[in-house]
Chain A
């Protein structure tokens, strides 16, 4: 009796030595930040073993300002940023690697555009030069982020050495209430188990709530597995998965599709498979969540208050909370709904898919943004779909700024960033100190909650605004 993780793992064992396994890698995703990998390949004169199994995306450094995007790479003012984008172009050309870059209709964040292309298939091992590669596990595969040395090893050998992680099942059942999204559920999970709670584990998300989720929602959940420390996050493939995959550029067609489908249906964990650790969450009890501190476990329901370090019994935690409040410029015990914000960012590999933009637009149409608010689609394809549905016009009519696809202010390395001290309601995945720019302050939340914050200029319970239902 095997878990989904064990089935995928066992199917990819090339060799074993002592306590490590040499695993075969089916797909490797890279981006402009993968320069150190190419530097090493060149220094050592190494070849890429299977260029057709490596896929490159321009996302981290590409500008999202429509004017900069229209101007072309050569006109980018910052020479270091321009160099990163041009390096990826030169390196992928030199090694014959497919690139979804500037001007390409398939360009986007690797964890948004990759699944759209059908690269993320059930049963495979997929690695990415980015920690949020856990996103792809939503399709029932083993996907995880790796550093540049491991990426070099993967592209040179098509394999990776791994110590086998333990398995953890997080069962989520019940019906989420109005205004509660996949983002709120994963923030509630991380608040419960902590940012180190899944270190050493591959997580499988299961339960009726997960089964009812769309692929976009499942990707949001798996995306933040790394924020709980998990090696990977996975969800059993089902008809929702297969409907999403059918007909995409890199999915099998015809008889090959039928063969693949028959295999994919064998992948879900066997009914009596054992997990090393079990966690359960009632989705019906989850309230829209926001983070108040400087890591993703420091999250609370929006109707709560900023914690008071003096009331913490755990000495270590007391110190951490005090430091977090000092950085965030917050007072103990203040209602979260009274925190005034300076900016809003709707985007990132966590929450820039079409469902996310629909949810944000449904709120945006209820009023007008009173602070600068950006909407950054996760891919060109998401942008075009949103425009076909008129979402861009809803956003711009409500005073939001409609931008081009990329990572933008989630990771703040393309020039999109907060000024020191600025406070941002953000749909991204990390609220670390300085993550959105030196001195910037981040509150993580869902797209609907971020749009609501834009209308009110403060954190607010989206359920107070009414709207849908």
Chain B
């Protein structure tokens, strides 16, 4: 996984609550292997007409936002499916951090595993960021993971919380499976004990 330290760039305001996984990646694209096709899969049915042409009025199709690296969105972002394709779509488009009041639980975890930083900020703060971004198309923001801080277009800083182990993994781009393998001895003991106490579950 690519480390996440500081991200600075254009932020796109997705001024909408409940952007569920079916919007982020319509289910018919779940069979696509991870790769460059996901650039056009993100929010596909919002961005494209049935004939494949772009919907010019959709925000991601407007000039400054094609280079967006941050998205700011309403509450319940990413609720729904466990399919990681919703994250692949955001990453494929170039977005490495999403800021919202809250996230679908599985989406949140999937993001962390792919080096996409989900940032929870209070609803009023997100609302203020959305207003600034809508007023100044193409405005930039900064997300710093080490400092756990977001800097809005107006220069104001907002601190956010993230679980410490998840933060460490992202900062260092740690491989989670390799990390878990360091616990091989604890795992061996657990399996021995389970086989003794709950033999009907043992391999």
Contacts and interface: CB of A to CB of B under 8 A. Distances in A.
B39 interface: no
Interface residues of A, number: 75
A259 B165 CA distance: 38
Given A35-B33, A229-B104, A131 B80 contact: yes
A367 interface: no
Contacts of A413: 27-28, 30-31
Nearest to B75: A196
Interface string A46-71: 10001011000000010000000000
Interface string A14-56: 1101111010101000000101100100001010001011000
Contacts of A14: 183, 186-187, 190
Contacts of B31: 33, 35, 61, 80-81, 83-84, 413
B165 A161 contact: yes
Given A15-B186, A17-B165, A20-B165, A150 B76 contact: no
Interface string B77-89: 0011111110100
Contact of A46 (B16, B177, B198): B177
Given A14-B183, A153-B180, A53 B203 contact: yes
Given A53-B203, A152-B177, A433-B23, A146 B82 contact: yes
A231 interface: yes
B102 interface: yes
B106 A146 contact: yes
A161 B168 CA distance: 14
Given A24-B194, A149-B110, A129 B82 contact: yes
Given A152-B177, A259-B199, A435-B27, A147 B183 contact: no
A147 B110 contact: yes
B22 A131 contact: no
Contact of A149 (B26, B84, B166, B199): B84
Interface residues of B, number: 56
B163 A153 contact: no
Contacts of B79: 195-196, 229, 295
A412 interface: yes
A144 B110 CA distance: 13
Interface string B114-129: 1000000000000000
A39 B165 contact: no
B37 interface: no
B114 A259 contact: no
A438 B45 contact: yes
Interface of A: 14-15, 17-20, 22, 24, 26, 33, 35-36, 39, 44, 46, 50, 52-53, 61, 80-81, 83-84, 121, 123-124, 128-131, 133, 144-150, 152-153, 156-159, 161, 163, 195-196, 199-200, 226, 229-231, 252, 256-257, 259-260, 263, 294-295, 316, 320, 323, 411-413, 420, 430, 432-435, 438
Interface of B: 16-18, 20-23, 26-28, 30-31, 33-34, 45, 50, 74-76, 79-85, 87, 102-106, 109-110, 113-114, 163-166, 168, 176-177, 180-181, 183, 186-187, 190-191, 194, 198-201, 203
